């Protein structure tokens, strides 16, 4: 579903060139749950931004569902983001003056969906994260864990093919983080591909595959769960 | 999406009320001040009779003293020339007219005699200038020729003398003579008063209208400008009538360019004939002016208002430059939200529209507040200019209100283009991580 070949990303200023990604090649299959780990500044977030079409890259090829996305216009990329990709951020990135319903509504607005269908989808999405009863609340009236669940509902409301999560539990305590992980796990079980950046090795160990970034390169790629399952079968 | 964007604009206003209010205030001051001057110019310089201003012509002749190098030809005609042109122009609607003042003695003895401003004119005056009547009508050419003592009243004078009732057929005692009322004007206030711009272009219309010949026949007290460039030969009123003294405005209605050319030939021939008698020795550039040409020729809109216009435009520009800065600050402050919206599927075009609507929303609020500023400014102009303007037309009518709001919206959107462009081109990736 996602195929990157020899992707490089260089940030340039007048004085400095920073190689954020060096020759990244990666295949992500439909339904996979991949975690990305690595030290700060190793290129995890840059990779995620490129995967989510929020950032351009310097060299290499990126195919999304077999389509070369390099040549797409801003409009086409936005459409792809809206229809195929969901984003979850460490700091939730909810809009503070919109209530939960309106926050979850944002991606559907850009899809041009009719009011009744939007309402139905939003309520289902909020219900799936257990926050339907609080749809009129503002984000500031919720706890961090609840805000992240709203962000997940917002990411899922458009029924994307894959979800990009940038340290979704980074701002949460361990209990709340566990709840969010379980939610992501169930989303993946339902068939959504997930790529998650995390610093937490215990969370990384729960994914099917962990990719370790170091200095802009893939240092290690382990099929943790799949390898474990294969071992068990043999 | 339009209503959605309006709602986002409202939320954005509430998020930064001080910054947003400063923008609204800047737009309101700039647009309000500009509209005061715009209104002044609009009414002073507007076409007072747009549907036929190109068919109505003021006649000017080659008056002046050749010995005086920079002699400005007077805009009016002498009595001799007015009489001659009346005969020459009889196949067209035409009128000579001039002002007078007279004392009216009301039939109601409880009302003391009072002075009125009046105009002597020909019957065609009313039809040429499309003057509306409340009761009756103007008189006919026969009344002109026979010097009938008929009178048309303004609605204000009719209110004063007859309580606003239909006074056609009633008698008005003016200047010691009885006049029969044949018509009462409806409310009418051409701006500028184009048919007599050299006697107060922004004065109210006259209160009483009588056949022009009666000014001479009844020795009415003339008023208004009189320009003489040669001393009368002899004493008395008849000597004045025969003198090189211009005090009569002359208008003719010519339907098309052919009629205009023919009429101009007549006037040219008349001028040439008079030259042979030793008169009209100072040639003029032009003898026929349509209404708008005449307004320009007579510099009806004073230079001061043009200077004021320039100053108001500069104030508006300064206010808009401030708005640019404030919008830039506001929109760049929304970078994290813009980043999130991009991640969720907004493309640059939709972000552009969203922010154009937000700028337009601020502009609309500025326009509404600007109406208040304009209303205050207009009151100030009335106080400053006093009798020079008629306060009836220096006001916020629907056109002025709509133009104010539209101007505010358009200006604010234009001022917002650069901030919007910057906002739409932020890199979302930077702000998503930092939010």
- Divide the 435 residues of chain B into consecutive groups of 10 and give the mean pLDDT of each group: 91 90 92 86 79 92 74 85 90 93 88 93 95 95 94 94 94 94 92 85 90 93 86 85 91 93 91 84 79 87 79 89 90 88 91 93 93 88 67 71 89 90 85 61
Please give, rounded to a whole number of angstroms, the shortest distance from the CA of B342 to a CA of chain A: 7
What does the alpha-carbon distance between residue B187 and residue A172 come to, in Å, rounded to a whole number?
Answer: 77
* Alpha carbon A203 to chain centroid, angstroms: 15
pLDDT at B387: 58
Please give, rounded to a whole number of angstroms, the shortest distance from the CA of B362 to a CA of chain A: 18
Reported as a single tens digit per residue, the pLDDT across A105-128 is 999 999 988 889 999 999 998 998
| Interchain CB distance below 8 Å, A89 and B435 | yes
- Chain B interface disruption, residue of A40, A78, A101, A155, most B CBs within 10 A: A78
By C-alpha distance, the chain A residue nearest B10 is A97
Which is more confidently placed, A158 or B253? B253
Residue B143 DSSP one-character state: H
Which is more confidently placed, A220 or B422? B422
Question: Which chain B residues are Cβ-neighbours of A139 within 8 angstroms?
Answer: none
Residue ranges of the domains in chain A? Answer: 2-233
| Interchain CB distance below 8 Å, A91 and B342 | no
ipTM given for this complex: 0.87
By C-alpha distance, the chain B residue nearest A97 is B11
First CA to last CA across chain A, in angstroms? 29
Residue A34 has pLDDT above 70, yes or no: yes
- Structure-block tokens of residue B360: 């337009």
Contact A198, A37 (CB under 8 A): yes
Cα distances from A199 to residues A37, A203, A213, in angstroms, run 6, 8, 11
pLDDT at B186: 94
Bond before B142 cis per omega within 30 degrees: no
Asked if B345 reaches chain A (Cβ–Cβ under 8 Å), the answer is: yes
CA atoms within 13 A on the CB side of B45: 16
What does the alpha-carbon distance between residue A17 and residue B363 come to, in Å, rounded to a whole number?
Answer: 43
First CA to last CA across chain B, in angstroms? 26
Cα distances from B20 to residues A77, B219, B420, B422, in angstroms, run 33, 68, 15, 18
What does the alpha-carbon distance between residue A228 and residue A92 come to, in Å, rounded to a whole number?
Answer: 33
CA atoms within 13 A on the CB side of B80: 16
Residue found by looking up tokens 């009938």 in the block: B148
Crossing angle (nearest 10°) for helices B2-15 and B17-45: 120
pLDDT band of residue A14 (cuts 50, 70, 90) is confident
pLDDT at B389: 59
Cα distances from B197 to residues B49, B73, B221, B255, in angstroms, run 14, 15, 20, 23
Superfamily (CATH H level) for A2-233: P-loop containing nucleotide triphosphate hydrolases (3.40.50.300)
Question: Which chain A residues are Cβ-neighbours of B1 within 8 angstroms?
Answer: 109, 112
pLDDT at A227: 42
What does the alpha-carbon distance between residue B389 and residue B347 come to, in Å, rounded to a whole number?
Answer: 54
* Alpha carbon B271 to chain centroid, angstroms: 32
pTM of the model: 0.70
Contact A209, A228 (CB under 8 A): no
A to B CB pairs, distance under 8 Å: 76
Closest CA to B247 of B98, B364, B422, B105: B98
Burial B365-400 (b: 16+ CB within 10 A, else e): bbbebbbebbbebbeebeeeeeeebbeebbebeeeb
pLDDT at A225: 46
Which is more confidently placed, A204 or B154? B154
- Structure-block tokens of residue B269: 């021939």
């Amino acid at each position: 579903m996602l195929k990157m070949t020899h992707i490089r990303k260089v940030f340039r200023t007048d004085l400095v060139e920073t190689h954020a990604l060096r020759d990244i090649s990666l295949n992500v299959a439909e339904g996979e749950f991949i975690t990305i780990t690595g030290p700060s500044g190793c290129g995890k977030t840059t990779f995620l931004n490129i995967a989510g079409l929020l950032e351009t890259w310097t060299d290499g090829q990126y195919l999304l569902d077999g389509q070369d996305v390099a040549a797409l216009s801003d409009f086409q990329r936005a459409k792809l983001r809206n229809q195929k990709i969901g984003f979850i951020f460490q700091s939730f990135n909810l809009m503070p003056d919109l209530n939960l319903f309106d926050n979850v509504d944002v991606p559907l607005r850009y899809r041009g969906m009719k009011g009744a269908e939007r309402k139905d989808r939003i309520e289902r999405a909020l219900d799936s994260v257990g926050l339907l009863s609080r749809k009129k609340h503002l984000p500031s009236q919720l706890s961090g864990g609840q805000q992240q669940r709203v962000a997940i509902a917002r990411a899922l409301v458009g029924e994307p093919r894959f979800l990009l999560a940038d340290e979704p539990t980074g701002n949460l305590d361990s209990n709340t983080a566990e709840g969010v992980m379980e939610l992501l796990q169930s989303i993946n079980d339902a068939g959504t591909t997930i790529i998650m950046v995390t610093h937490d090795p215990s969370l990384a160990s729960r994914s099917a595959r962990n990719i370790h970034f170091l200095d802009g390169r893939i240092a290690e790629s382990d099929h943790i769960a799949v390898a474990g399952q294969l071992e068990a079968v043999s | 999406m339009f209503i959605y964007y309006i709602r986002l604009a409202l939320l954005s206003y509430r998020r930064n009320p001080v910054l947003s209010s400063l923008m609204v205030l800047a737009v309101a001051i700039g647009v309000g001040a500009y509209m005061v001057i715009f209104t002044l110019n609009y009414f002073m310089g507007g076409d007072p009779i747009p549907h036929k201003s190109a068919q109505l012509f003021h006649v000017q002749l080659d008056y002046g003293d050749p010995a005086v190098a920079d002699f400005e030809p007077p805009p009016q005609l002498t009595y001799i020339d007015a009489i001659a042109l009346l005969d020459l122009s009889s196949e067209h609607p035409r009128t000579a007219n001039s002002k007078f003042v007279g004392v009216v003695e009301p039939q109601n003895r409880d009302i003391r005699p009072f002075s009125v401003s009046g105009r002597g004119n020909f019957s065609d005056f009313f039809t040429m200038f499309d003057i509306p009547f409340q009761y009756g009508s103007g008189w006919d050419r026969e009344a002109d020729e026979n010097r009938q003592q008929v009178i048309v009243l303004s609605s204000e004078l009719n209110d004063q003398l007859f309580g606003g009732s239909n006074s056609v057929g009633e008698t008005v005692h003016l200047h010691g003579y009885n006049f029969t009322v044949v018509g009462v004007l409806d409310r009418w206030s051409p701006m500028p008063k184009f048919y007599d711009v050299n006697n107060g272009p922004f004065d109210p219309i006259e209160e009483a209208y009588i056949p022009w010949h009666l000014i001479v026949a009844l020795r009415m007290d003339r008023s208004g400008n009189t320009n003489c460039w040669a001393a009368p030969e002899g004493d008395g009123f008849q000597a004045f009538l025969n003198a090189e003294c211009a005090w009569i405005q002359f208008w003719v209605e010519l339907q098309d360019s052919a009629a205009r050319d023919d009429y101009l030939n007549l006037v040219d021939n008349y001028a040439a004939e008079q030259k042979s008698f030793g008169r009209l020795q100072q040639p003029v550039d032009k003898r026929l002016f349509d209404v708008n040409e005449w307004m320009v020729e007579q510099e009806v809109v004073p230079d001061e208002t043009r200077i004021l216009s320039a100053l108001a435009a500069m104030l508006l520009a300064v206010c808009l430059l401030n708005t640019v800065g404030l919008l830039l600050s506001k929109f760049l402050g929304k970078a994290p939200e813009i980043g999130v919206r991009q991640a969720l599927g907004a493309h640059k075009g939709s972000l552009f529209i969203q922010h154009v609507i937000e700028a337009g929303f601020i502009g609309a609020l500025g326009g509404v507040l600007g109406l208040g500023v304009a209303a205050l400014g207009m009151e100030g102009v009335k106080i400053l200019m006093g009798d020079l303007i008629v306060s009836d037309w220096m006001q916020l009518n629907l056109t002025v209100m709509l133009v104010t709001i539209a101007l505010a919206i358009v200006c604010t959107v234009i001022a917002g283009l650069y901030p919007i462009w910057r906002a739409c081109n932020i890199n979302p990736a930077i702000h998503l991580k930092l939010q």
